[in-house]
Amino acid sequence: MGLFSFFNRKNNNGNGMTTAETTLPKILPEIPEQLFIEKSNAAPDNNSSVKETPANENGIHLLFQFLEKNHEAKGYDDALVNPDTVHLEQNIEALKNDLERTIKKIKIFYQDFIREIDFHINSRSRSGMVDTVEELAVKKETAGSHIAQILEIENAAKENKGVAQGVIISYTRGFRNGLAAISHHSIMKKNF
């Protein structure tokens, strides 16, 4: 029991404080916010979703991130700035160009990736590393299936069909909602 009483005993130094309290500094050092709170490095940019993509996302993930982005808010804001249908058509064309550029980036990524895989397959084959070569072949096959899906999405987008059409629908819906908001605001201000 003597061992436990040692921990429970307070050693007062005359002013009511324990020895441990007197040895601690009175002012605690400031702890930087960055240690506990993770902040986003990328500022939101409504013009392109590609900029918001983390650096470790490549290939088909980059394309799906672009396709899954909701462009409705951008369409709404654009309508408030310039409620002209020519503006709508130009912005839709810009979104199609962004999609095409994203697909080209991804195709280049996969071409380079497959070239690198081929090098490793040849090199590891010469070294007799059968298991490694088989793993690399599976990676190459996966990359090939991703390329096939990307080409399918690209062809559908050229015909204004498929999953890529969601980007255009989302933006157009937002633009029309912006036009409706302008009309609603203009009518509500009028006194009859």
Residue 8 is predicted with a pLDDT of 55
Q: Does residue 81 fall inside a structural domain?
A: yes
CA atoms within 13 A on the CB side of 148: 6
pLDDT band per the 50, 70, 90 thresholds, residue 162: confident
Q: Identify the sign of the CA torsion 136, 142, 145, 146.
A: negative
Q: Does residue 39 fall inside a structural domain?
A: no
Q: Does residue 49 fall inside a structural domain?
A: no
Q: Which amino acid is present at 108? A: I
Range(s) of the domain holding residue 119: 56-189
Is residue 5 pLDDT above 60, yes or no?
Answer: no
Residue 25 is predicted with a pLDDT of 52
> Maximum Cα–Cα distance for the chain, whole Å?
91
Tokens 């050693």, residue located: 11
Q: Could you give the number of structural domains in the chain?
A: 1
Q: Does residue 170 fall inside a structural domain?
A: yes
Note whether 163 and 67 are within 8 A (CB): yes
Q: Does residue 48 fall inside a structural domain?
A: no
Q: Within a 10 A sphere around the Cβ of 82, how many other Cβ atoms?
A: 13
Q: Does residue 160 fall inside a structural domain?
A: yes
pLDDT in tens, 101-153: 999 999 999 999 999 999 999 999 999 999 999 999 999 999 999 999 999 99
pLDDT band per the 50, 70, 90 thresholds, residue 35: very low
Note whether 107 and 150 are within 8 A (CB): yes
Is residue 85 pLDDT above 50, yes or no?
Answer: yes
Q: Does residue 158 fall inside a structural domain?
A: yes
Q: Does residue 156 fall inside a structural domain?
A: yes
